[in-house]
Amino acid sequence: MIKSMTGYGRGSSSRDGFAFSAEMRSVNHRYADISIRLPRELYSLEDRVRRLLLEHISRGRVEVNLAMDEVPAGLRQVKVNFDLAEDYYSSLKKLATRLDLPEEIKLEHILQMPELFKPAGITLTEDEVWPAAGDALQEALERLLEQRRIEGENLCRDLSERCGNLEKLIATAVVRAEEAKEDCRKRTEQKLSELLTGQFEETRLLMECAILVERMGVDEELVRLKSHIEAFQTNLSGSDPAGRKLDFIAQEMFREVNTIGSKAGDYRLTNIVVDMKAELEKIREQIQNLE
């Protein structure tokens, strides 16, 4: 079943002292566009994360956010900014002298100063973090794909129903097109009979009427339109991504309907064409959501 391009997934994992949380959000896009946000220590994972997503996603813009929530205790390090601490101490001494304060400067005073401590940079390898990070990403990806699958099923049902509506309109148009041709033939014969006097070739007159009626005929366009609908439904029921192909088929369907509208000399047939265009416009809107 074809999937939608929109969805959301979240996953988390704790393993070997590491804890990760991952979020994925996808929206419509003409191609597969992957945007990945990682902690600085995990920039080396970007290509691996991208490959993981591209194995399952062929279209859509996907935003990935991976957060490292915990690291093993042995890797946690805190760094003291000694230069900043000395500056704080010197400034506090100057302040005490200037204000003539008798209180002695103690460690607890300096500890209240901001940015005195900061986490030390740690170096991590892919092999260390991927088991936990990969589990979180995989869980988020599975939930994202499930949402895309469910929405894709809903879209396919709606598109299939609209194709059925188009087929009903085609059947009505076939009947009306034949009636319109006969009406046209009768009107043309009547008007020419009223206008022409004296001798004229009846055979030649009938031939000209036949040519005029044939130019108004839409039989070929209706046959091609029905063929396009069958191709559309075949691709719709397939398992491979076909959103782009369905868009091309819909364009061909629009082309045939426009031709029918331009050739139709009958207001009832024109009304049917308007209904066809309305259904096709809804189909084209829905296709934009398919992978």
Selection from 123, 133, 136, 169 nearest residue 280 by Cα: 169
Query: What mean pLDDT value characterizes the chain?
Result: 84
CATH 3.30.360.10 fits 7-74+126-148, yes or no: no
Domain boundaries, the chain: 7-74+126-148, 78-119, 151-287
pLDDT greater than 80 at residue 265: no
pLDDT greater than 70 at residue 76: no
* Per-residue model confidence (pLDDT) at position 261: 85
| Burial status of residue 246 (CB atoms within 10 A of its CB: 0-12, 13-18, 19 or more) | buried
Phi, psi angle pair for 206, to nearest 5°? -65, -35
Residue 250, CA atoms < 13 Å, CB-side half-sphere: 24
Q: What is the DSSP string of 71-114?
A: --GGG--EEE-HHHHHHHHHHHHHHHHHTT--PPP-HHHHHTST
Alpha-carbon distance of 122 to 278, in angstroms, equals: 60
Cβ–Cβ < 8 Å for 42, 129? yes
| pLDDT tens-place string over residues 87-99 | 888 888 888 888 8
Dihedral sign, CA of 124, 38, 121, 111? negative
| pLDDT tens-place string over residues 42-62 | 888 999 999 999 999 999 999
* Per-residue model confidence (pLDDT) at position 213: 57
Question: Strand 18-27 vs strand 7-15: parallel, antiparallel, or unpaired?
Answer: antiparallel
pLDDT greater than 90 at residue 34: yes
Confidence label for 194 from pLDDT (cuts 50, 70 and 90): low
Joined together, the tokens standing for residue 196 give 């022409």
Q: Is the pTM of this model over 0.95?
A: no
| pLDDT tens-place string over residues 124-142 | 778 888 999 999 999 999 9
Give whichever of 89-103, 105-119, 207-221 has the largest mean pLDDT.
Answer: 89-103
Mean pLDDT of 224-245: 89
* Per-residue model confidence (pLDDT) at position 179: 79
Higher pLDDT, 253 or 125: 253
Cβ–Cβ < 8 Å for 287, 243? yes
Cβ–Cβ < 8 Å for 44, 126? yes
Question: Strand 60-70 vs strand 18-27: parallel, antiparallel, or unpaired?
Answer: antiparallel
pLDDT greater than 70 at residue 143: yes
Which of 39-53, 67-81, 141-155, 218-232 comes out lowest in average pLDDT? Answer: 67-81
How big is the chain, counted in residues?
Answer: 291
